[in-house]
Amino acid sequence: MIKRFLALVFACVAGIAAAAQDPDPAKLQLASANALVRDAVTGQPIYAKAADEVTAIASLTKLMTAMVALDAGQPLDELISVGIDDFDYLKGTRSRLGLGTQLPRREMLRLALMSSENRAASAVARHYPGGLPAFVAAMNAKAVSLGLARTRFADPTGLSPRNVSTANDLATMVTAAAQYPLIREYSTTPSAFVEVDSTGRIVGFNNSNRLVASGSWEILLQKTGYIREAGRCLVMLANVASKPVVIVLLDSVGKFTRLGDAERVKHWLETGSALPLKAAIRAAVPRGATSAPARSAAAPVRGSFKSTASRSR
């Protein structure tokens, strides 16, 4: 009888804990057109909004780029250079990595993940065995192996609107990418300085996701993206309310809406209550926040990369 009573008590406690951990999805109103919050341990969705709708994914692509590059096992310290074929003739985006810039493969990968550097991602793919066509083929093969049935890649940068996926597929891709320690480290590096040419010119690069530097977030992996066809996108693996969750936010309108949505997800998971978008954006982008990396005391040597921090807090 006592055993039955204890079992009932434990069941009730577990039920209360489960209820506390699973807030009401009806209370979470997000501005992103497609969204998913998934328990990273169980794989169960906690919140979903048009999560199976196929949409362009912009630079979220670079998570797959990094996985394929690391799977190839090429030397990470090998110098690779930016060539004319790495320039963006599709969208006309700019880059501070000029023609002929040489950096170790690992630092090209870091810039691609941290600062969403398109030329860095393109250079990594172009120096793959078989070149760019073979690299894109490997990206699609990797997608198939991961079971990403609605995901397709046309280029390694995400500039092509033909790079498409769904929130559900992307959550799976984030989980797969999190198995790579370097992807976790590189994507959460807050800022860095790089010597980009023979004159010794040093250029600072910031993480494209300002939440990485926020003291209120524990982000384990992240990637941002934007092209007109995709809107503003964000994926993260983060510890929220004492558990790891995957957050996917796609097609957000407005510069800070995806950050506001991320804050609303965090507040909802922690409290079970809703947070207005304007308040969420204020939390994500405090007044007077700066995006400039702090000057490093020691300048990097030629062709090298100096990180101001290795991971977010």
Q: Torsions phi, psi of 25, nearest 5?
A: -60, -25
Based on the residue annotation, tell me whether 142 is a catalytic residue of this protein.
Answer: no
Place of tokens 């007077």: 288
CA of residue 289 relative to chain centroid, distance: 21
DSSP, collapsed to helix, strand or coil, labels residue 199 as: coil
Among 59, 187, 208, 252, the one annotated catalytic: 59
The one-letter code for the residue type at 270 is E
Among 62, 142, 223, 266, the one annotated catalytic: 62
For residue 187, the surrounding DSSP H or E stretch is helix 181-187
How many CB atoms lie under 10 A from the CB of residue 186? 24
Distances (CA, A) of 246 to 110, 200, 238, 266, 269: 21, 40, 7, 11, 12
Q: Which residues contact 37 (CB under 8 A, 6 or more apart)?
A: 45, 46, 47, 48, 245, 246, 247, 248, 265, 269
Among 115, 116, 191, 214, the one annotated catalytic: 116
Based on the residue annotation, tell me whether 59 is a catalytic residue of this protein.
Answer: yes
Q: Write out the catalytic residue numbers.
A: 59, 62, 116
